[in-house]
């Protein structure tokens, strides 16, 4: 009778419910090298590149541009031009109630020559 009880205990462990062994690779990961830590973080988040300032605002489109991503709202953008110009464009996109407005203001660039004089 005791042997029978012991045998029943062994039979309770069903094949599908056995505890699996831990994989060997779990304990073999290499520590990250110093290369990643040496690299500087980006100057600005990359998704700030998705600005609306490059879309035309001419009268044919009635000044309509695509909907902005939330991350670019309330940021001041300054136009980046390769060749120096006497005019600079400042851009700003904000939300007014349930609509979005992008304003581009063109300002003269202060000449350094005048300042030095």
**Would you tell me which residues interact with other proteins (CB under 8 A)?**
52, 55-68, 86-87, 94, 96-97, 99-108
Check the CA dihedral 13-16-17-18 and report its sign: positive
Q: Which is nearer to other proteins, 48 or 104 (CB)?
A: 104
Q: Which is nearer to other proteins, 24 or 60 (CB)?
A: 60
Q: Which is nearer to other proteins, 41 or 56 (CB)?
A: 56
In the complex, what is the shortest distance from the CB of residue 57 to other proteins, in angstroms, rounded to a whole number? 4
Rounded CA separation 32/25 (Å): 16
Rounded CA separation 77/55 (Å): 14
Q: Which is nearer to other proteins, 19 or 76 (CB)?
A: 76
In the complex, what is the shortest distance from the CB of residue 26 to other proteins, in angstroms, rounded to a whole number? 49
Phi, psi of 6 (to 5 degrees): -60, -40
In the complex, what is the shortest distance from the CB of residue 63 to other proteins, in angstroms, rounded to a whole number? 5
Among the listed residues 96, 98, 107, 90, the one whose alpha carbon sits nearest the alpha carbon of residue 53: 90
């Amino acid at each position: 009778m005791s042997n029978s009880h012991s045998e029943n205990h062994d039979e309770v462990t069903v094949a599908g419910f056995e505890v699996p062994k831990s994989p060997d690779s779990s304990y073999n990961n290499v520590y990250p090298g110093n290369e990643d830590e040496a690299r500087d973080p980006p100057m600005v988040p990359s998704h700030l590149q998705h600005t609306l300032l490059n879309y035309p605002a001419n009268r044919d489109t009635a000044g309509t541009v695509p909907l902005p991503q939330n991350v670019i709202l309330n940021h001041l953008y300054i136009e980046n031009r390769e060749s120096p110009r006497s005019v600079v464009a400042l851009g700003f996109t904000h939300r007014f109630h349930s609509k979005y407005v992008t304003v581009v203001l063109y300002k003269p660039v202060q000449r350094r020559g005048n300042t030095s004089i």
